[in-house]
Every structure is written in structure tokens, then in C-alpha cells.
């Protein structure tokens, strides 16, 4: 029999929309299901000033599908030259919701990120004063550190010192991938939260590597061992309000994902809620889904829960999703977890 599950309309607290033709292609896949999203600023060139954020927001709003009810929550890209007063003015005006810290070279379009963290401490102190949250890509980029250990080392070398130096700073560890990340959040005060992605809740590194490399599972931070995946799932389904959804949906043209040097990112926006419903059901925690997708994030950011609702439907047979979405001559492949999904969103 068909089952339904009605949620307060979800939000996505970590989203890549890109720009230009790609923005227009992928935006409807988010606005169909999500009311708000934290928009990543790693364009080329990046979104580093209030004026940049205003212009990018205008381009997003111009690309919205007709009738869409969606609010882009803008961020600034933190650099060693960020002007604290420009940032503060943008935050006071409601133009930005957070600031994003990329360690230089950590992921796609992160070359302008921070290399010397001491140089951004005045900005972080100003953010703490005004209550502006810091979203963190939590990986070191030291080539001597194994790629599977970079999150744990980042916590010890970078994040914990930052939070000790600026204890009032509100921080979101984005797309955590390890038990280390889960344990650090749980041991911290309430001003530290974490987002989790669809792929890191459903997959481990064996799914990506055993039997051949699956490029559409390659993302940064990279998938980890099964025990880390299990810790993430336990956190997401626990009801702990410090853990909430940030899909990190990251579109790339299929040819870039399937190239010799594979681009990092999973395009999960079209299937995120269906995959999460299946994952939570399989874990016996379907009752926890609304908190994770719709309530914990607004609470952490100090925003109201959406008044609209969204109803998911469960079928008796697996649901089939489009393999790609059109983007001119550069289609984008949609994430598939390699297991049957019985849930769908409208």
C-alpha cells in the first residue's frame, strides 16, 4: 500500500548552484523540494564582498522557476583580505547569512581560501561580536597527511585552536565524514553544529572503489570507512539538534566527472529527500527525518521553521529517477546510491 510522510518543508544548509547556464539548469532541482538553502560562494571569481553577494543573489533570483517559493541564503568566501566591516555591513543588512572558510586548495574552486589562519582572526572576532556564523570546510591540505585523515587532523590543528581563540564564534562543521567529527560536535558547546550529506550517510569508500572507481561517488571530503558512515548515520537519526542536512549537492558536467582527473562532487539535489527517507526508514528512524531535514537547521541559524509542508510518498516498487538533467551540451549525472529507493518527493 502507498504510504505518505508529511514534513515541514525542508531546507538545505549547504548547496552549490554554480552560475550561468549551470545555475539555470540545477536550480529547479532544489526549489522543487527545499524552501531555503545556504549558497556556497566558491565561484570563479569567488563571492568575497557584500556587493558580490548582492549580485549573485540577483542572478539566482532571476533564474528561479516561475512560481517557485525559495530563499537563497548567501555567504561570503573568507579570504586573508576580507574586510571585517564590509562583512558586518552585509550581515546587518540581511544580505548574507554566514561566511565560508575554505582552507586554500581543499576542494573545487578553493584556491583563494585561507592559508594563514592567524591573518583571519580579526575577521572571526568581528563575526563573533555580531553573531555571524562560520561555515567550515574541515580538511587540512598538507600533502603529507593522508586524504582519509584530513578531517581529524583539521579538528586538532585548525578548528579547535580557532574555537579556543574565539570562543563566542558560532561554527558549522560542514559535510562531516568521520566519527571524529561526530564526537567533537557532541563534546562541544551548543555553538558548534554540523551538516551531513546524503552520500556520506548512504555510502562508504568501498562503494566508491571496490570493483572499479565510481566517479559519481567521488567528493571532497572523500567517503570514509564503514564505521565512520555508521557514526554519521547514528548522529543524523539521534534527534540531536546540532546535526542537520546540508546536501553539498555539487553539479559538474558528466564529462568532467568521468574524465581522467575527476571533478569532486555528487549531484544529489533531485533525489536527496527520497534517498534520506529510505535511509532513515532502513535505520528504523523515520520519525527523526523531519528534525534532521526541517527543524534542526533553522534552530541553529535562529530562523523560523517553514510553515509550508512537503509530503513524501512510499511505493511498493522501487522508484526510477532520471539519470541526468539537461544542461545544453553538458548534461549533469544525478546521484544514485546503488540500492532500491521506494520513496519519492513531488
Burial class (CB in 10 A: 0-12, 13-18, 19+), 261: exposed
Catalytic residue among 12, 146, 248, 330, which? 248
Instruction: Copy the grid coordinates of residue 84.
Output: 571585517
Provide the 8-state DSSP code for 9: P
Q: C-alpha angle with apex 242: 237 to 243, nearest 5 degrees?
A: 40
Instruction: Copy the grid coordinates of residue 20.
Output: 550561468
Does the active-site annotation cover 142? no
User: Residue with C-alpha cell 544529489?
Assistant: 268
- CB of 11 within 8 A of CB of 35? yes
Which helix (H) or strand (E) segment holds residue 338: the answer is none
Chain-centroid distance of CA 170 in Å reads 17
Among candidates 346, 242, 342, 228, which has minimal Cα distance to 292? 242
By annotation, the residues acting in catalysis are 248
Amino acid at each position: 500500500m502507498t504510504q505518505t510522510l508529511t514534513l515541514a518543508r525542508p531546507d538545505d544548509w549547504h548547496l552549490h548552484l554554480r552560475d550561468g547556464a549551470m545555475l539555470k539548469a540545477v536550480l529547479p532541482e532544489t526549489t522543487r523540494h527545499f524552501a531555503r538553502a545556504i549558497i556556497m560562494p566558491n565561484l570563479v571569481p569567488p563571492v568575497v564582498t557584500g556587493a558580490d553577494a548582492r549580485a549573485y543573489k540577483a542572478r539566482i533570483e532571476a533564474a528561479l522557476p516561475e512560481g517557485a517559493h525559495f530563499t537563497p541564503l548567501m555567504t561570503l568566501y573568507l579570504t586573508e583580505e576580507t574586510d571585517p566591516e564590509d562583512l558586518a555591513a552585509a550581515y546587518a543588512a540581511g544580505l548574507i547569512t554566514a561566511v565560508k572558510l575554505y582552507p586554500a586548495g581543499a576542494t573545487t574552486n578553493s584556491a583563494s581560501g585561507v592559508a594563514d589562519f592567524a591573518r583571519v582572526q580579526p575577521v572571526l572576532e568581528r563575526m563573533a561580536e555580531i553573531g555571524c556564523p562560520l561555515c567550515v570546510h574541515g580538511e587540512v591540505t598538507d600533502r603529507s597527511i593522508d586524504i582519509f585523515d584530513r578531517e581529524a587532523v583539521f579538528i586538532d590543528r585548525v578548528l579547535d585552536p580557532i574555537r579556543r581563540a574565539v570562543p563566542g564564534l558560532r561554527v558549522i562543521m560542514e559535510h562531516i565524514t568521520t566519527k571524529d567529527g561526530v564526537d567533537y560536535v557532541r563534546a562541544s558547546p551548543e555553538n558548534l553544529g554540523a551538516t551531513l550529506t546524503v552520500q556520506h550517510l548512504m555510502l562508504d569508500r568501498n562503494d566508491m572503489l571496490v570493483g572499479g572507481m565510481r566517479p559519481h561517488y567521488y567528493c571532497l571530503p572523500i567517503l570514509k570507512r564503514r564505521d565512520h558512515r555508521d557514526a554519521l548515520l547514528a548522529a543524523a537519526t539521534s534527534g540531536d539538534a546540532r546535526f542537520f542536512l546540508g546536501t553539498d549537492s555539487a553539479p559538474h558536467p558528466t564529462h568532467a566527472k568521468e574524465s581522467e582527473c575527476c571533478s569532486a562532487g555528487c549531484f544529489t539535489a533531485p533525489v536527496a529527500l527520497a534517498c534520506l527517507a529510505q535511509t532513515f526508514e532502513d535505520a528504523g528512524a523515520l520519525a527523526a527525518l523531519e528534525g534532521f531535514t526541517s527543524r534542526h537547521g533553522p534552530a541553529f541559524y535562529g530562523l523560523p521553521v517553514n510553515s509550508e509542508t512537503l509530503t513524501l510518498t512510499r511505493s511498493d516498487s522501487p522508484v526510477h529517477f532520471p539519470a541526468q538533467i539537461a544542461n545544453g551540451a553538458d548534461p549533469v549525472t544525478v546521484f544514485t546510491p546503488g540500492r532500491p529507493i521506494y520513496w519519492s518527493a513531488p
